[in-house]
Amino acid sequence: MTSKPSEGLVELASGVIKGLKELRDGIAESKRSVESMPFLIRGYAMADFKSGTGMSHDEWLEFLDDLITSLEELSSKLTERGEAEAGEVLGKLERAVESLNKLSEYLRGLPQKARLAAGFLSEEQIRALEEGPKRAEEVSTLAQAIKHLMDALGS
């Protein structure tokens, strides 16, 4: 499917790319935080993240890197040629929305997990986990922006 850039399509893609890069930074920070946890809780935290979000930290980072690269290439083609094939990117965006929704749900439950593991975590780690619902809203907003981009690319 060839998509002609409607007004603001490149800007919409740029906004999504920016949001994905911020999410990637957050996932990388989460990975560092988990790796700094005491040995007894680290394995649980890694397994909980993967089961709760559908991917490990490394899988998330790889997925986001691939998606960001694909969107940057699409955006570049839209800017240079005024049109681009969006077919493969649409499938990646659809997977991203599903994954982000799962991540958002996981983040909403972090304050409860922080309370359960409080004796094993630093104050900084507890504060970060208590920010989960706020981060969940940011992730949901990014998922909505991706849906909007998908709609624009599909028309």
State how far the Cα of 104 lies from the Cα of 90, in Å rounded to an integer: 21
Question: How far separated are the first and last CA of the chain, in Å rounded?
Answer: 9
Q: State the residue range of the domain holding 77.
A: 2-154
Angle subtended at Cα 15 by Cα 14 and Cα 20, rounded to the nearest 5 degrees? 95
Q: What is the pLDDT of residue 85?
A: 72
Q: What is the DSSP string of 22-58?
A: HHHHHHHHHHHHHHTS-HHHHHHHHHHHHHHHSS-HH
Q: How many domains does the chain have?
A: 1
**Given this model, what pLDDT does residue 40 score?**
83
| Per-10-residue mean pLDDT, the chain, length 155 | 57 95 96 89 93 98 97 86 75 96 95 81 85 94 96 82
pLDDT at 1: 43
For residue 84, what pLDDT is reported? 67
**pLDDT of 155:** 66
